[in-house]
A and B are shown apart, each in its own frame.
Chain A
């Protein structure tokens, strides 16, 4: 099986059967950040702890990227093979709104408030290593 590595370390648990986003929580004021950072955007403090942000949320807003972005976009796609993708902010259970690619890519399939779940998606192959990033998709009915 092809080796899968994240585009960037520390954004989500990987490898994992049920990956979760990773972020930080301020031990002083309780606000979260994604990606994890050493200082707090809310209270200016530096008492931060890396925590799981879970893998579920609801869609807060969305759009659709309908043309292939230019540099620094770096996937295996070409303008010919490019498939439009959704982009949105997903409100996680802790309240933080995380920006993400969305699997749904039509106005009909996207709705503010819809339940979302994390997925890990391959976007590029580097010398046999598949680079993966996080995305969200509509939560499967329970």
Chain B
């Protein structure tokens, strides 16, 4: 079977674009990716795209051109980007198409998401009585994790500090101001133990990738990045998940663990081979837990890793070099693709002030979303 290459990268900056709707931000990202690949929309044989609040992805053809291509909408919560890339990967692997576009975009209303119980298979009482908040779930998961594995509040602060510091040297990031430990520590509490600066916010933005058969990559670029695996998994019984009125009496492997293990097996490499990673950090606890769930360290070792700066840009395993979701915000449809975009820049050596210095060869992305779905991609030069 053919390998899959990423030959074009496009991003419409995350944050707020008051003069553009969601589709326009998706189209801007798509045009940037096509230009990066030195090609145009007419050359695209297929597209997979997704958005939560920004409109139907396939409406992008109104802006990009009515070329008659297969355009399939993907909606998979926070894992939408991961699922779109997975679909493109499968289409090329199967020999169905040679080259296509993956695109995600969003434009959310300000403030926290307000999910509707019925859309998640729950009855109204769950929302009416105040249990349907993702912030509560994330807080409760890290609370238990801190209890079980000895993670300190100082480590929570360190993750936020790193995110905003990395954001400050990322021109496309939403939050570009580094914050001091004191500023982070003194932020208003949202959901104990997580405060305002420890959560990411819904935002706007777009991201797109041009993907093709590896053996034709040189038509588009001299520095392709190869997509070694793209894996998506949903939860098993016993996985501790959001929007769950009850949880099993034991904690089973999360979808992050199952997706990660499958991805490493398919790629034939291990966590020790990864040079740079993007781990879903919708809040600081998530990044900490995902370090271990993706196999990069043992549970509890994060305390030492963070204290030693091992996930900093110049560390042994740089994590979220662009500031992650914390500094970029989370336009849900685009967020997972932003991770891939950043890793591709790092592997190409195009990451500017935040470039990982050791010429990274292998990159890793992990997205996680409600109600228990994970997508993992392994990329290499």
Binding site for B on A (CB under 8 A): 6-8, 11, 23, 31-35, 41-42, 60-67, 69-75, 85, 87-89, 91, 94-101, 107, 112, 123-124, 133
Contacts and interface: CB of A to CB of B under 8 A. Distances in A.
B139 A63 contact: yes
B192 A107 contact: yes
B246 A72 contact: no
Contacts of A85: 130
A62 B147 CA distance: 11
Given A72-B127, A73-B127, A64 B144 contact: no
Interface string B196-236: 00000000000000000000000000000000000000000
B131 A101 contact: yes
A85 B191 CA distance: 10
B130 A65 contact: yes
B95 interface: no
Interface string B236-258: 01100000111111100000000
Interface string B111-123: 1101011000001
A115 B144 CA distance: 16
B246 A97 contact: yes
Given A63-B140, A63-B192, A66-B192, A97 B248 contact: yes
B140 A7 contact: no
Given A23-B246, A63-B192, A133 B125 contact: yes
B248 A42 contact: yes
A87 B131 contact: yes
Interface in B176-193: 188-193
Contacts of B194: 63
B198 to A, nearest CB: 12
A11 B192 contact: no
25 contacts: A6-B125, A7-B125, A8-B125, A31-B237, A33-B246, A34-B245, A34-B246, A41-B248, A61-B143, A61-B147, A63-B193, A64-B192, A66-B189, A66-B190, A70-B111, A70-B112, A70-B114, A75-B130, A87-B130, A95-B248, A97-B247, A98-B245, A98-B246, A99-B131, A123-B128
A112 B248 CA distance: 17
Contacts, number: 121
B141 A72 contact: no
A57 B62 CA distance: 57
Residue with the greatest number of chain B CB neighbours at <10 A, chosen from A62, A65, A75, A98: A65
A63 B191 CA distance: 6
B306 interface: no
Nearest to B117: A72
B136 interface: yes
Contact of A31 (B128, B144, B147, B248): B248
B133 interface: yes
A35 B125 CA distance: 11
A32 B246 contact: yes
B249 A97 contact: yes
Given A32-B246, A65-B133, A65-B191, 12 more contacts: A6-B125, A11-B125, A35-B245, A61-B147, A64-B191, A73-B127, A87-B136, A88-B140, A95-B250, A97-B246, A98-B245, A100-B131
A60 B124 CA distance: 25
Contacts of B238: 42
Contact of A133 (B114, B129, B141): B129
Contact of B128 (A34, A67, A72): A72
B90 to A, nearest CB: 26
Contacts of B151: none
A94 B249 contact: yes
Contacts of B117: 72
B376 interface: no
A72 B124 contact: yes
Contacts of A31: 237, 248-249
B133 A72 contact: no
B246 A63 contact: no
B143 A101 contact: no
B249 to A, nearest CB: 3
B123 A67 contact: no
